[in-house]
Structure 1
Amino acid sequence: MKTILASIALMTCSLNATAFSQETHKRIVVDAVEYMKQNPNTTAYQKLEIWAQQLNTTPNALAQIMGQAAYDVDDFEDTFLCGAITGSCVQAPVWGLAKSIVKYTSYWHFQNHSQGTDAHGNDFGGYNYDKLTVWGAVDTMAATWLKGDYLDDGQGGETGWFSADKTKYNTYNITEAHYRIDSQSNYPMYKDFEKAPFQPIDNLGQYWYQSFIESKNPQILGFVFHTTDLLQPHHTWTTSDLNHSGWESWVKDYYDKENLNSFTFVSQALDNFTPINTNSNDVRPLLTQGGAFSYAQGGIVLNSTNHFDRVNTGQQVIPNAIAMVIHLLNHAMEKL
C-alpha cells in the first residue's frame, strides 16, 4: 500500500526533473538572439529581424516570446498517469502539489545516452526506469509509488479495478502519438510506469519543429528550444535524482555570477555542431549532438556538488545550449 511515509520521503528528496530551471531555459533563448544580434555576419540575425518586422514586433520581443515558450513546456498539461487500482488519472503525483515539483510531462524530456536503441526503434530512448544505468532514491521511490500505474489512453481504454475509468486526457493517442515520430509504439508498453519507455526529447523537438514549419508561429518555435534539456547531464545520463535539483538551482543562481553564458565560449561551442542541411527539416541529428556533448562532458555533476566542478561543467554546457538554439534559429529563418 502507498503510505504517507512514502509521500513524505519523496517530498524531502525534492523531486524536480525539469532539468534546467524554467528561468534558465528562457535566458538561453534570449542570449541566443542577443548573440545573433552581436554577430549578424555569421548568423541569420538579419532574417530574424525581417521576420520580427513582418510580425510587427522586434527581435528582442521575439526572443522574449520564444524564451517564454521554452519556459512553458515544463507546464504542459498533456501527460496523465492513472492509478492501477482507482483508475483516477492525474498530471502530477500527490507530492507534486508543492511548487516547482515535476509534472509527468517531464518524463518526455530525456535522451538516454547510456543505452542504445529503445523499444520504439529510436537511436536513443527516453526515460525508462527499467533501463536506467544510474539512478537514485527519487527514481526508485517514484517507480515504487507508481508501480502498475498506466498512461491515460482515453475513455474506453485501460482501466483500474472493477473497470474504474476516470480518464482526463488521451495521453497515449495524443501526446505519445505526437512524439512517436519515425518510431513504432503499442499501448501495452505504457501499462506499467516502472517499465514504460517514454519517447525521447529529440522527438518532442522534431514534432514542434514540424509544427513551426507549417504555422510559422514563434511560440511553437520556442517550444522546440526546450530541447536544451539535452545539455543538462542528468537528462542524458537519465535520472531524476543524483543532485538533479541542486544542479538546476545552482545553474540559475550562478548563470550571471560565473558568466556561464560567455559569448566567447558560445563562439567556440558553435563549432561543436554540424549545421542542419537547408534542404532538411529534421533537427534531431543536431539535438543528439547536444545530448552527446553533455553526456561526455557533464557527468561529474551527478556525483559532485563542488563549486569548481559545477563552474567547469556550466561553462561548457550553457554555451553549447545557446549555440544549439542559434543553429536552430539559423535553420528556422531559412524556412520562413
Structure 2
Amino acid sequence: MKRIIIAALPCLLASQAQAFTQDTHKRIVVDAVAYMQAHPDTTQYGRLVQYASQAGLTVDQLAERLGQGAYDVDDFEDTYLCGAVTGDCVRAPLWGTLSSIVSYSSYWHFQNHTQGPDAHGNDFGGYNYDKLTVWGDVDNLAASWLKGDHLDDGPGGKGGWFGDDSEYNSYGLTEAHYRQGSTSNYGMYQDFETMPFQPIDNLAQYWYGRYLANHSVDALGFSLHSTDLLQPHHTWTTSALNHSGWESWVRDYYDSEQLASDNLVTAALDDFDSIAVDEDDIRPLLTQGGSLSYSQGGLVLNSKDHNERVMVGRIVVPHAIAMVVKVLNHAMQR
C-alpha cells in the first residue's frame, strides 16, 4: 500500500501544515507583549517588566524569547511512529521534506470541537482519524501511509515484524506528559488510524505547569503554542481543506489587513474569562479560544475568498493575541 501511493503523496501533501506558521506563532506572542506594554493599566505589564529583569532580559528580549518558545514547539523531536512491518521508528514521514508538516509531533496540536469527550476522558479530544467529522485528501493519505503503525513505546515494547527500532519512547514520555489527569493505555496507540492523540490544551497545561514550578521562560513560551486553538483547522480538526493555504494567507496579510489591530485585541479580551490567581489550570481559558475558532472559523475550510478570509482573520488573530495576554497576566501574578 505505501509503495503504491508514494508517488501521489508529494503532490497532495505538499500543502499539509501544522496550523499557524511558526512565524505567525511567534508574532502573536510578540504582539501580545506589545499590547501589554501599550496598556499597562489594564494588564500585568509592570510584573512582566520585573520578570524580564529577573531573567536578565529586556522586555523586548523577553518577548522574543517567549515567541521563540511558541515557535519551537513545532520542531520538538518527541513523537515517533513505528512501521507495522519494519518496526523502524521515525519522527516525520518520508514526504515530510516535501511538505510543510514538521513532524508527527504536530498531531498533538488539535482540539476536536466536532466531537464530545474522548477515550481519555478529556472534554474535547485531539486528532483521531477515526473520529474526524471533516477531512480531506491529506488526512486520508496519511492514514493510508501509516496504516497499522504504532506509537514508539521504548526499547522492548511493541515492534514490527522485523524488530523493534525504538528511538524515544513517545508513549512513556510525550503522551504521559500530555495526559494531564486523563487516562490512557498503550492499546490506544497501536494503530495510527484509531489513535486518540491528546489535545493541545493538555500540551499547554503540561508546559504551564513547568513554568509554575520553576518560572522558566522557555516553558512559558512553549505553553503559548496553544494559539493553535484559534486556528480553525485545529478545532474542526483536519490536515486538509485549505489548511496550508489559510495559514500562509494569515502570514502574508497579517500586517496589510491589520489582523492584530489594538482595538480588535481590546474587544477580544472581553470575550475571555480571566484565570483566578490561585488557579493552576489554564485549560478552561484555552478551550474558550477553541470554542470561538470553531464557531467563527469554519468558512476558511471551504473558501479561499480574500474578503471572507479577512473577516475570519480579524476574529481569530486578535483573539489569539488576547488569549496570550490573559495567560501572561496570570503567569505574572504567579
Aligned to 1:17: 17
**Structure 2 residue 102 is matched with structure 1 residue 102:** yes
**Counterparts of 2:169 and 2:70 in 1: how far apart (Å)?**
23
**Counterparts of 1:332 and 1:8 in 2: how far apart (Å)?**
48
Check the 8 A contact 1:70/1:225 in 2, yes or no: yes
Aligned to 2:89: 89
Q: Deviations over 1:207-245 (max 9, x none)?
A: 000000112111110001100000000000000000000
AA matched with 1:88 = D
**Counterparts of 2:245 and 2:87 in 1: how far apart (Å)?**
34
Query: Matches of residues 70-85 of structure 1 in structure 2 within 5 Å?
Result: 70-85=70-85
Aligned to 2:159: 159
**Counterparts of 1:99 and 1:81 in 2: how far apart (Å)?**
18
**Counterparts of 2:208 and 2:99 in 1: how far apart (Å)?**
30
Q: Deviations over 1:89-117 (max 9, x none)?
A: 00000000236333100000000000000
Check the 8 A contact 2:15/2:99 in 1, yes or no: no
- State the 1:16 CA deviation: 2.5
**Counterparts of 1:131 and 1:78 in 2: how far apart (Å)?**
24
SS at match of 1:179: helix
Query: Matches of residues 19-58 of structure 1 in structure 2 within 5 Å?
Result: 19-58=19-58
SS at match of 1:49: helix
**Counterparts of 1:236 and 1:7 in 2: how far apart (Å)?**
29
Aligned to 1:321: 320
SS at match of 2:6: helix
- State the 1:15 CA deviation: 4.4
Aligned to 2:214: 215
Unmatched tracts of structure 2, length 5 or more: none
**Structure 2 residue 247 is matched with structure 1 residue 248:** yes
Aligned to 2:271: 272
Aligned residues: 333
- State the 1:2 CA deviation: 1.2
Q: Deviations over 1:94-141 (max 9, x none)?
A: 000236333100000000000000000000000000000000010001
Check the 8 A contact 1:15/1:102 in 2, yes or no: no
Aligned to 2:307: 308
**Counterparts of 1:119 and 1:298 in 2: how far apart (Å)?**
26
**Counterparts of 2:30 and 2:16 in 1: how far apart (Å)?**
24
- Poorly superposed stretches of 4+, deviation over 4 Å: none
TM-score after normalising by structure 1: 0.98
Q: Deviations over 1:188-208 (max 9, x none)?
A: 100000000000000000000
Check the 8 A contact 2:138/2:239 in 1, yes or no: yes
AA matched with 1:118 = D
Unmatched tracts of structure 1, length 5 or more: none
AA matched with 2:109 = H
Check the 8 A contact 2:147/2:191 in 1, yes or no: yes
- Output the aligned Cα RMSD: 0.9
Check the 8 A contact 1:178/1:207 in 2, yes or no: yes
Aligned to 1:63: 63
AA matched with 1:45 = Y
Check the 8 A contact 1:15/1:240 in 2, yes or no: no
**Counterparts of 1:16 and 1:180 in 2: how far apart (Å)?**
26
**Counterparts of 1:56 and 1:295 in 2: how far apart (Å)?**
39
The farther-off stretch of 92-101 and 233-242 is 92-101
Aligned to 1:133: 133
**Counterparts of 1:326 and 1:26 in 2: how far apart (Å)?**
14
SS at match of 1:168: coil
AA matched with 1:175 = T
Aligned to 1:197: 196
- State the 1:8 CA deviation: 3.2
AA matched with 1:311 = V
SS at match of 2:8: helix
TM-score after normalising by structure 2: 0.98
AA matched with 1:189 = M
Percent identity (aligned): 63
**Counterparts of 1:272 and 1:97 in 2: how far apart (Å)?**
39
